[in-house]
Amino acid sequence: MKILVTNDDGINAEGIQLLAKTAKKFGEVIVIAPEEQCSAMSHHITLRDKMTIRKHEFGVPGVDAYAFAGTPADCVRASYLGLFKEGEKPDLVLSGVNKGANCGFDIQYSATVGAAMEALLYEVPAICFSQNYFTDEHECHTDVAEKYIEDILSELIAKPLEKGLAWNVNFPSCSLDEYKGVLYDRFPAQSAFWDDQYVLEENADGEKEVLLKTIPIEKAEEGSDMQAVIDGYISIGTIRNTVLR
């Protein structure tokens, strides 16, 4: 099996190395990921600018990696519309491991999810992996992801979905002692993970500026993806590309 690994945090992010290293146990892996941070770009693609692609020194032996001057959706789109010849195109797209949960309303903005949605346009299975954390001031615990990502990937590869659906996996930020297990069929919470507030301020030049301030929420609906990771579970659910039938 040929596996394409991408992300939205950029090719130097730690999460993509974990995902590529794990994916290598299931097939031939190639990494094509943005050269820069692309969080919250959703399904954005580049139409008018040239995009460089460069071989990138990557920390996983046996995995070729390329830094692409585009978005996560660009990485996938280019792969299936020219970078690979017929017969060489990847059989599976994996996106992540994103720093930050992709639950609830945040799914709509996520470029991690955008890469998966692009893969579905070519009838290629896709799985998103995301790691919850609360704020940059708090330690992001990745113990659960590091221990269980291989088991989760093995399980989901063996469970093909109907056309238009991708798997969405979110890991909790907790120690192994606090970890409670896996919850399946989680639905997107009907809120964002962050209580966003836009604050109007004035700078030293007297110009008006709008600043985004965020506070993580502490509660969501029972049965939702967000409440699962808040409670210390791995959340597994599906997300749909709404243009596909």
Peptide bond into 210 cis (omega under 30): no
In contact, 34 and 112? CB cutoff 8 Å: no
- Single out the residue of 37, 40, 126 nearest to residue 76, CA to CA: 126
User: Helix or strand or coil: residue 148?
Assistant: helix
- What does the block give as tokens for 69? 């001057």
**C-alpha distance across the termini of the chain, in Å:** 26
CB-neighbour burial class of residue 54 (10 A; exposed 0-12, middle 13-18, buried 19+): exposed
9 in a labelled binding site: yes
205 in a labelled binding site: no
User: Helix or strand or coil: residue 73?
Assistant: helix
8 in a labelled binding site: yes
- What does the block give as tokens for 32? 């094509």
- Known binding residues for a divalent metal cation are 8-9, 39, 98
Binding residues: 8-9, 39, 98
